[in-house]
Amino acid sequence: MFKMRIVIKSLTKALALCVLLLLAACGGGNKDGELPSASFVSMSEGPSEKLYVVGPGDQLQIFVWKTPELTTNVIVRPDGRFSVPLIHDMPATGKTPTQLARDIEKQLGDYIENPIVTVIVSDFNGPYAQQVRIVGSAASPQAIPYRANMTLLDVMISVGGVTDFAAGNRATLARVVDGKQFEYRIRIDDLLKDGDVSANVKIEPGDVIIIPESFF
C-alpha cells in the first residue's frame, strides 16, 4: 500500500508537470489567442526598416533629368506593369521606387546617354500581399495599403470605424505566419468605445480583419 501511494504521488507530479509545460507552450506561441497590445510591441521593436514596394494601382511620377519630354505620370496596371514613352510593359510590382528608377535607366540607356531617373510614388496601394483588408461590419469595408508601424486604431480610422450593428469584440484578425494561417481575437469595441489602449494591436502586411454583426 505504501509503495502504491508513492507511485500514485509520482504519477500525479508527472501529470501536473506535463500540464504546466503544455500551458506554457500554448501561451508562449500566442496563436489563435489574443495579440499583445501595440504599446508592448513598440517598446520591444524599433522603427520598421521595410522599404515600400510598388503595387497595382500605384501612381508613379517618373522624372528624367534634362529630358522633360520623357518626364511623366503613370498608373501601374492591374497586371503590375506600366508603359511610358520608349518603354513598353515594364514590370513594377514588388520593386522599390529606387529599383524601378534603375530599371528605367537601363531601358532608356538604349536611346539616351547616361539617363538619370527618379521615381516618386504619389498615390499608394502597394502589392496585394502588403495590403490590409477589412471586411464585414466596418463603416467602409476596403483594402488599404500597409504603413510602417500600423495599428488596429489606424485601420479603424481609415475605414471610418464600425457600423451600429457591429459586434466589435467578436472580431477576428486572420494572419499568415510561416505559410500557416492563424486567427486572433481582437476587441474593437473596447478600443473605440471604451478607449482601452490594451486592445490596440500591431497590424502586419496581409492581415485580414473580419467584423461580424451582432445577433440582436
Q: For residue range 178-211, list pLDDT tens digits in order.
A: 999 999 999 999 999 999 999 999 999 999 999 9
| Rounded Cα–Cα distance for residues 193 and 78 (Å) | 38
* Tens digits of residue pLDDT in 90-144: 999 999 999 999 999 999 999 999 999 999 999 888 898 889 999 999 999 999 9
Q: Which amino acid makes up residue 6?
A: I
Neighbours of 58 (CB within 10 A): 24
**Is the full-model pTM beyond 0.85?**
no
Q: What is the arithmetic mean of pLDDT over 23-46?
A: 57
At 40, is the pLDDT very low, low, confident or very high (cuts 50, 70, 90)?
Answer: low
pLDDT confidence of residue 211: 98
The cell numbers describing 142, all together, are 476596403
| Rounded Cα–Cα distance for residues 118 and 123 (Å) | 16
Task: Sketch out the chain's domains with CATH numbers.
Answer: 33-48+128-211 (3.10.560.10), 59-123 (3.30.1950.10)
pLDDT confidence of residue 15: 41
Instruction: Say if residue 73's pLDDT is above 60.
Output: yes
46 vs 200, higher pLDDT: 200
| Rounded Cα–Cα distance for residues 172 and 169 (Å) | 9
Instruction: Say if residue 11's pLDDT is above 50.
Output: no
Instruction: Say if residue 166's pLDDT is above 90.
Output: yes
pLDDT confidence of residue 115: 96
